[in-house]
Amino acid sequence: MIELWELGGRDGRRYSLFSWRTRMALRHKGLEFETHPVRMSDKAAIAFSGGKTVPVLKDGERVVRDSWSIAEHLEDRYPDKPSLFGGATGRGLARTFNSWVDRAVVPAMMPAIVADIFERIDPADEKYFRTMFEGFLKCTLEEARGRSGDALARLRRVLEPMQAVLKRQAFVSGEAPAYGDYILFSVMQWARITSLQELFDKSEPVSLWRERILGLYDGFARNVTTA
C-alpha cells in the first residue's frame, strides 16, 4: 500500500505544487495510492516522517519525504514500471531542471497568485499562511494582489525559454512526458487549483503543453477541484 500525505484546502483541494509532482510520478508509474490531507500548520500529522513539510510518501515500511527524493525512490523501487528519467543522464538533467524551476519559476509564480491561494486553503491555516507568506514577500497579501500584474509579467519573462522549447517539441522531456514535465506542470497546476487568473493565452506553447499534460492518465490532473 502506497500512502501520500499532502496539503488539503477548501472543498477537498489538493493544492501543494510539490505533491503534484509526486501525484503525477505515481500515475506515470501506474501505481495506486491513498492520500491523506494535512493542514499546513499541522506539523504533528507528519511528525512520523522526521520532517515538517509535505509531500510524505509511505511505501510499505519505507517513509520518504521531499518530492525529488520520492521520485528517485519510485524510480529505484519500481524499475519494471515506465521510467521517470530515462536513465542516469536523464536523471541528472531532471535534477538540474528541478532546481531551476524551484529557484526561478516558483518564486515568480508565488507573488502572482499568493492572495488567491489564501482564499482556498483550509480556514484553520489562515493565520499560519499569512504570517509565513507575508514574511517571504515583505508585504501584505493584499499588497501582493495589487502588484500581481507586475508579478505575471516577470513570470512570463522567466518562462520564455520554455515557450521556445515547447514550440519545437510536445513535452519538456521530448516526444513523451517524463518527470521533467511533472516538475514544471506542478507549478501550473498550483495556479490552476488556486487562482482564476489566466496566465497565458490558450494558443501559446506552454498552454498547449499544459493541456496535453491535463489529458494524461484519463484526465487525472484535469478532473480535480479548481479555482
Do 70 and 64 touch, CB atoms closer than 8 A? yes
At 98 the pLDDT is 98
Backbone angles phi, psi at 58, to 5 degrees: -120, 115
Q: Which CATH code is given to the segment(s) 2-77?
A: 3.40.30.10
- Mean pLDDT of the 195-219 span: 96
pTM value? 0.97
Are both 2-77 and 88-219 of the same fold?
Answer: no
At 197 the pLDDT is 93
Q: Which residues pair with 7 in a beta bridge?
A: 38
At 115 the pLDDT is 98
So what CATH class is 88-219?
mainly alpha
H helices, E strands: number in the chain? 11, 4
Element (H, E) at 35: strand 34-38
Do 26 and 75 touch, CB atoms closer than 8 A? no
> Where in the chain are the domains?
2-77, 88-219
pLDDT band at 212 (very low <50, low <70, confident <90, very high): very high
At 29 the pLDDT is 98
Distance of alpha carbon 38 from alpha carbon 17, whole angstroms: 14
Distance of alpha carbon 195 from alpha carbon 226, whole angstroms: 8
Q: Which residues pair with 62 in a beta bridge?
A: 59
- Mean pLDDT of the 17-41 span: 98
- Mean pLDDT of the 114-132 span: 98
pLDDT band at 65 (very low <50, low <70, confident <90, very high): very high
pLDDT band at 93 (very low <50, low <70, confident <90, very high): very high
Residue of 120, 94, 152 whose CA lies nearest to 16? 120
Residue of 7, 18, 5, 8 whose CA lies nearest to 185? 18
Whether the upstream peptide bond of residue 107 has omega within 30° of 0, thus cis, is no
Distance of alpha carbon 224 from alpha carbon 220, whole angstroms: 8
At 137 the pLDDT is 95
Distance of alpha carbon 77 from alpha carbon 126, whole angstroms: 38
Mean pLDDT of the chain: 97
Distance of alpha carbon 111 from alpha carbon 96, whole angstroms: 24
